[in-house]
Amino acid sequence: LFKSHHCVILVLGYDFQELTEGIFLSIENLFLCSVLLNFCASTVKMELKKAAGMSDAALAGAISGGLTRALLSPVDVIKIRFQLQLEPIQRHNVISKYSGIRQAVKMIYTEEGLAALWKGHVPAQILSIIYGGVQFATFETTRKAVVNLYPSIGDNAVYTSALNTWCGSLAGISATCTCHPFDVIRTRLVGQGEPKMYRGITHAVVQMYKESGIRTFYKGLVPTLTQIGPYMGLQFGIYTTSVALWKRLSGETKRNSTVLFLAGMLSGLCSKLAVLPFDLVKKRLQVVGFHDARIPFGRTQVYPGMIRCFLIVYREEGFLGFYKGASVALIKVSKLLTILKYTV
């Protein structure tokens, strides 16, 4: 456990020092930060597995995941701000609130203070914890029930793979529906400037319920559910295809960590880019009815639904409008969570 604690200290010192100098969110710095965090997390989990047991390793994974989310919370804030901005994100664009990553960090720090880079962090942590629990419980329960009904399914590799994919999709849908209200709250807390419309989570929940009842907490749910299937399919498909192609070309049959690393990164990047338009539409729908808090950031737009939102974004912002915040979103992919999922 103590073999990698200096790595955490290094990340903490590096992270906040760069942040105070106004250059924390450069692509190179964040990539290094995320790689170091995941290296630390995997090392801690391996050491605990050796020293104690799986329960301690699970606890270490939860703690390391929470630490990673806390340190990279500014990435989420910048990404969401970019996605909600209707004006183009271009350097030297006088009509845009945010024109680039460094400029956005500097402006948020100047106008709202350092704590603004951690807006929405609490509901994001709650979302992460509940999502993981619901997803795991649903997957295990569903898979066990199917295997009990059809015991022979475990003897067929193709059926087993299909079962895992189906149970994984169902688990993802269940977890998304359960945790979506926290995502909406997080988006709105991040999307508001100063003075704040919501003073905190409790105040946000009360005001959002007054807005249009329980439906407010499920705005943007349709595009969220729509992207689950393509995301999982692309991620799994690209990963397995890449590994199989390498084995065929190289002739090797042994497990190669480097190949798994690259295949995991490729599948994560491609699947994330493919569904990013749905993520942007989700964010835009989540702030419908929240326009008073968005006025200081520029133009606002009312979207009647998912399809109309896609059409309006394409008409007014072009195809690249769907990829606002893409560079920041890919930093999160570089955390290598996809790779760890297949290699740990």
Average pLDDT of the residues in 65-93: 85
Q: What is residue 59's predicted lDDT score, i.e. its pLDDT?
A: 59
Residue 76 has pLDDT above 60, yes or no: yes
Cα-based distances in Å from 222 to 28, 148, 152, 177, 189: 34, 32, 36, 10, 21
Mean of per-residue pLDDT scores for the chain: 78
Average pLDDT of the residues in 94-116: 90
Residue 40 has pLDDT above 70, yes or no: no
SS3 229: helix
Query: Which pLDDT band, with edges at 50, 70 and 90, does 1 fall under?
Result: very low
Residue 181 has pLDDT above 70, yes or no: yes
Q: What is residue 334's predicted lDDT score, i.e. its pLDDT?
A: 59
| Rounded distance between C-alpha atoms, residue 42 and residue 297, angstroms | 39
Query: Which pLDDT band, with edges at 50, 70 and 90, does 338 fall under?
Result: very low
Q: What is residue 155's predicted lDDT score, i.e. its pLDDT?
A: 72
Q: What is residue 118's predicted lDDT score, i.e. its pLDDT?
A: 92
Phi and psi at 33, nearest 5°, equal -60, -45
Query: Which pLDDT band, with edges at 50, 70 and 90, does 303 fall under?
Result: very high
Q: What is residue 72's predicted lDDT score, i.e. its pLDDT?
A: 82
Q: What is residue 333's predicted lDDT score, i.e. its pLDDT?
A: 63
Residue 20 has pLDDT above 70, yes or no: no
Each residue of 223-272: pLDDT tens digit? 999 988 788 778 878 888 888 888 888 877 777 788 888 888 888 888 88
Q: What is residue 219's predicted lDDT score, i.e. its pLDDT?
A: 94
Q: What is residue 56's predicted lDDT score, i.e. its pLDDT?
A: 55
Average pLDDT of the residues in 70-81: 89
Q: Alpha helix locations (H) across 21-120?
A: 27-51, 54-71, 73-84, 101-112
Cα-based distances in Å from 282 to 18, 26, 80, 152, 228: 31, 26, 11, 41, 13
Higher pLDDT, 9 or 283: 283
| Rounded distance between C-alpha atoms, residue 281 and residue 55, angstroms | 39
Measured between alpha carbons, how far apart are the two ends of the chain, in Å? 17
Higher pLDDT, 312 or 60: 312
Cα-based distances in Å from 238 to 35, 72, 85, 217, 268: 22, 26, 32, 34, 9
| Rounded distance between C-alpha atoms, residue 239 and residue 265, angstroms | 9
**Residue 249: what residue type?**
L
Q: What is residue 60's predicted lDDT score, i.e. its pLDDT?
A: 59
Give 296's DSSP letter: G
Q: What is residue 131's predicted lDDT score, i.e. its pLDDT?
A: 85
Give 290's DSSP letter: -
| Rounded distance between C-alpha atoms, residue 123 and residue 104, angstroms | 23
**CA angle, 292 then 297 then 303, to 5°:** 60
Q: What is residue 48's predicted lDDT score, i.e. its pLDDT?
A: 46
Average pLDDT of the residues in 274-278: 93
Query: Which pLDDT band, with edges at 50, 70 and 90, does 217 fall under?
Result: very high
Query: Which pLDDT band, with edges at 50, 70 and 90, does 84 fall under?
Result: very high
